[in-house]
Structure 1
């Protein structure tokens, strides 16, 4: 099975994110359109070699059965919404998610127009966001983003289902965060570093014993019962306007369990009342669960 290149792609300079709902009565037409997506990704890659374009389309957990009723990824389920007082990570389901990335903004936009034409009359665009590289792959808070990401061949091992009918696919979770930067920037740099659990300027992670139990890197570095790291591949990028800034957070993994446990650890207090203090400085506005099937699945309309 050939995985969509956007799942394991290395960081780019630009991205465009599209979230759609399918119009009533148009599911068969969407299946036909999605069958053309692998060829579209290949065409854009070949036409604009310097842009390092990669595409990704993922199907929402609620829409999957209407599109591909004969088989469903075994772990595809609803987004694991969280709420603790004013700290909220809501579920906002969407039917389709597109990630279009390139090192040229014009190529990313050309990809947007190609997708819009492909799906014209079949879907309603519910949300779009432009992502961009900020400094040396930093979040708008000023800290390097994705430090924990697997590298090289390990990216596929973490992100892709290895066996079975859905091999080459990935469980994808997408959130749009809006940062509370005015509040964040009032903190001393040392305090910001304690919130993250690593230094700001040179991105050196604190030793585990030196991290506060509320540090972001402490709350999201988890192990399973066997002592194995519960990794995800992050494909996140900042977004912003003159007035608001944030992060489009994207998790790709061979199981949704790792993301679910991380989100719970961030929002749910432990027995000592500790939670991820980064959640005091950013607000999740959306949250949706998807599965990104292999290109073979899309091209065959699920007939594998």
Structure 2
């Protein structure tokens, strides 16, 4: 977050998602087919060349560019998980961005496709997925006890009185409770291949 919202400068939008994979369907694919689904070589993790990478690969559909052709990036991480007892296997995804627009565009391209591809092939290999969108303020926002009151248009709390002989010489004023900026975005189901229902984050 920058000058477009100076009261919350330094903060970030955070998308957290949990996907459950159909590992039987994935393992049934030959390695070459898996690489075309993702858009990367399986062992080296090297991205496929543009003339080889299918337009419906995950890499192709999640590459977002602006009007000038510059790629719009987010800070992201993806971690696999598994629970043998419940037979749940999949990935946790977390992405940080200045605006949720980039991540939402990626999700829209994955589930709804583009002119060049109907949709990402990975959703067809999922049991289900869900996620949440948060706004996280910067550390200095949380440390500044007067900022929430200022943003809410409330008077700033009185400064703490000095200690006299180890004791306060007046009653400590009650601080206004913090006011945090909350954003909520709904999700709706989107039909994909295999009669499976998934979530599109809008």
TM-score by length of 2: 0.66
User: Which residue does 1:240 correspond to in 2?
Assistant: 82
Partner of 1:79: none
How far apart, CA to CA, are the structure 1 residues paired with 2:77 and 2:149? Answer: 29
**What residue is the counterpart of 1:162 in the other structure?**
2
> Which protein has the larger Cα radius of gyration, Structure 1 or Structure 2?
2
Q: Structure 2 CA distance, aligned partners of 1:228 and 1:167?
A: 23
Residues 1:275 and 2:115 are matched in the alignment: no
Count residues in correspondence. 144
Distance in structure 2 (CA, Å) of the matches to 1:165 and 1:190: 49
More helix by share: 1
CA contact 1:297–1:303 (8 Å) conserved in 2: no
How far 1:248 sits from its partner (Å)?
1.2
Shift of 1:288: 1.2
Q: Is the 8 A contact 1:179 1:282 kept in 2?
A: yes
- Deviation of residue 198 (structure 1)? 1.1
1:196 to 35, 38, 41: 38
Using the alignment, how far apart are the partners of 1:285 and 1:264 within structure 2? Answer: 14
User: CA–CA distance in 2 between the matches of 1:194 and 1:172?
Assistant: 29
Deviations 1:204-253 (A, max 9, x none): 11111211111111001111122221211113322211111111111100
The TM-score with structure 1 as length reference comes to: 0.45
Larger RCO: 1 or 2 (CA < 8 Å, sep 6+): 1
3-state DSSP of counterpart to 1:209: coil
Aligned counterpart, 2:140:
296
Q: What whole-Å deviation, never above 9, does each CA across 1:178-200 have from its counterpart, x for those lacking one?
A: 11111100100010001011100
Structure number having the greater strand percentage: 2
Measure how far apart 1:272 and its partner are.
Answer: 4.9
CA distance in 1, matches of 2:97, 2:137: 12
Query: 1:213 matched to which residue of 2?
Result: 55
Deviations 1:240-297 (A, max 9, x none): 1111111111110011110011000100033355211011112443221110111122
- Residue aligning to 2:22: 180
CA contact (8 A) 1:168 1:294 kept: yes
Residue 303 of structure 1, CA deviation: 4.0
> Contact (CA 8 Å) 2:76, 2:93: kept in 1 or not?
yes
